[in-house]
Chains A and B, each alone.
Chain A
Amino acid sequence: MSLKYIGNWADWIKPEWVEEILITDGPAIPKDYKTHEEMIQKSLMGHFKEEEWIEEWKDWQQMNEAYDYENNFFFEMYDPPDLKFNLYDDRPPFLEFDGPFAWWITKLRPGKFTPMHRDSYSVAKPTHKYWMAWTDWEPGQVLMTEDDVIIKYRAGDVYKFDDPFILHGAANAGIQTRIALQITTWRPNRGII
């Protein structure tokens, strides 16, 4: 199985972080993705590399030819510049390394989803990739890979991807909003190498 449970750190999650995500509209993926990516690259690296954006966009489109990228609204994604808090000031206690990392938060309102995809930025070097629930599981919510699925989790549960390049996705067909934190150690177009 590709998702390994490593523990629960619910006490580390500040209620005001969750509240901020719940009450704030985030960048809508894929509609706002380019604008968002440009802002992230400029904030982290001081410039925007169009060619890196094009490569990432091509990867997504090739993996998801079945979806309407122009008119769809999959989910909301928050990066550090979108939020008042910053996890670089509150380093996640479950990280098994001392170096830099990239983090972002996904919010799936009812009916929203992340199509199955591979993180193309994960192939270049050994990568730590984590997923942490910030809300308790509700019926209708699922995180899945090509060989594993996570349901019935609790807020604070952390899973590590054995293979950070594995096909994965998420969905919320429930009636509550689902929030999760993603962390990876390799994402060059976000200033993390």
Chain B
Amino acid sequence: MAAKMNHLGNFADIIPQDWIDEILYKQGWAVPKDLFLNPNVILNQDEEKWFTNNLYDKSSKFFSVFYSDHCSFNVKLPFAPKSPDWWIVKMMPGEYIPVHGDLAMADRPHGKSYWMPWQDWEPGHVFVWEDQFVSNYKKGDVFEYDSSVPHCAINIGTSPRIILQIREY
């Protein structure tokens, strides 16, 4: 049976425009190249595949990520009350995250994964989860999903794509 992605509602009112503006002008971390500045970084099996036979370049930038340390704000999430982890993904046109599963989440029986777009969907903003193409979402929509299922995202449009990722453990 195909996995499902549950729409929990729209929470656009918790995203001030100045947060979006901050993400747009800041750099964040360039993934994957900045990840390897941390000698303790461990890739999962899916991520290791990206770099097998030089398919992808470890020193390149797929996209930017912003953790709480990168941001002047702290995200409070009414739908995820248990002190979740969060980070923000910014994909400029031409950026992407190759197909992978967040495999560590499969080992957390009470873990929950959510994603929340910070702008309305536009043609060229690609999110494929398992074998489903996710589109026509609105800024502030919140989806609960199984992030251990293979998924990928690509931006072949003309505007940045910003997504908040949330994990409850």
* Cβ–Cβ < 8 Å partners of A67 in chain B: 93-94
Task: Assess whether A140 is in contact with B98, with CB atoms less than 8 Å apart.
Answer: yes
Number of A-B contacts (CB under 8 A): 94
Name which residue of chain B comes closest to A145, CB basis. B123
Task: Assess whether A116 is in contact with B123, with CB atoms less than 8 Å apart.
Answer: yes
Main secondary structure of the interface of A (DSSP, over half): loop
Task: Assess whether A115 is in contact with B154, with CB atoms less than 8 Å apart.
Answer: no
User: Smallest Cβ distance from B11 to chain A, in angstroms?
Assistant: 26
* Cβ–Cβ < 8 Å partners of A170 in chain B: 156
CA distance A110 to B156 in the complex (A): 14
Task: Assess whether A174 is in contact with B156, with CB atoms less than 8 Å apart.
Answer: no
User: Smallest Cβ distance from B50 to chain A, in angstroms?
Assistant: 7
* Cβ–Cβ < 8 Å partners of A152 in chain B: 131
User: Smallest Cβ distance from B163 to chain A, in angstroms?
Assistant: 15
- B162 sits at the interface (CB 8 A): no
* Cβ–Cβ < 8 Å partners of B158 in chain A: 63-66, 115-116
Task: Assess whether A142 is in contact with B133, with CB atoms less than 8 Å apart.
Answer: yes
CA distance A110 to B150 in the complex (A): 16
* Cβ–Cβ < 8 Å partners of A63 in chain B: 158
CA distance A79 to B114 in the complex (A): 44
Task: Assess whether B153 is in contact with A173, with CB atoms less than 8 Å apart.
Answer: yes
Q: Given A113-B156, A149-B135, A151-B133 in contact, is the A139-B124 Cβ separation under 8 Å?
A: no
Over the window 142-175 of chain A, the binary record of Cβ atoms lying under 8 Å from chain B Cβ atoms (1 yes, 0 no) is: 1011110101100000000000000101110111
- A72 sits at the interface (CB 8 A): yes
CA distance A25 to B157 in the complex (A): 26
Task: Please count how many residues in chain B sit with their CB below 8 Å of the partner chain's CB atoms.
Answer: 28
User: Smallest Cβ distance from A56 to chain B, in angstroms?
Assistant: 18
CA distance A125 to B159 in the complex (A): 31
Task: Assess whether B128 is in contact with A142, with CB atoms less than 8 Å apart.
Answer: yes
* Cβ–Cβ < 8 Å partners of A114 in chain B: 156
Name which residue of chain B comes closest to A166, CB basis. B123
Over the window 55-72 of chain A, the binary record of Cβ atoms lying under 8 Å from chain B Cβ atoms (1 yes, 0 no) is: 000000001111110001
Q: Given A115-B124, A171-B126, A174-B99 in contact, is the A142-B154 Cβ separation under 8 Å?
A: yes
Name which residue of chain A comes closest to B132, CB basis. A151
Task: Assess whether A72 is in contact with B94, with CB atoms less than 8 Å apart.
Answer: yes
* Cβ–Cβ < 8 Å partners of B97 in chain A: 173
Interface members, chain B 116-169 (any A CB < 8 Å): 123-124, 126, 128, 131, 133, 135, 150, 152-154, 156-159
Name which residue of chain A comes closest to B57, CB basis. A111
- B86 sits at the interface (CB 8 A): no
CA distance A147 to B98 in the complex (A): 23
Task: Assess whether A175 is in contact with B49, with CB atoms less than 8 Å apart.
Answer: yes
User: Smallest Cβ distance from A153 to chain B, in angstroms?
Assistant: 11
Task: Assess whether A113 is in contact with B98, with CB atoms less than 8 Å apart.
Answer: no
* Cβ–Cβ < 8 Å partners of B135 in chain A: 149
Task: Assess whether B55 is in contact with A175, with CB atoms less than 8 Å apart.
Answer: yes
CA distance A63 to B99 in the complex (A): 27
Task: Assess whether A167 is in contact with B133, with CB atoms less than 8 Å apart.
Answer: no
A-B residue pairs, 6 tightest by C-beta: A140-B99, A66-B93, A116-B124, A146-B123, A173-B152, A171-B154
Binding site for B on A (CB under 8 A): 63-68, 72, 74, 109-111, 113-116, 139-140, 142, 144-147, 149, 151-152, 167, 169-171, 173-175
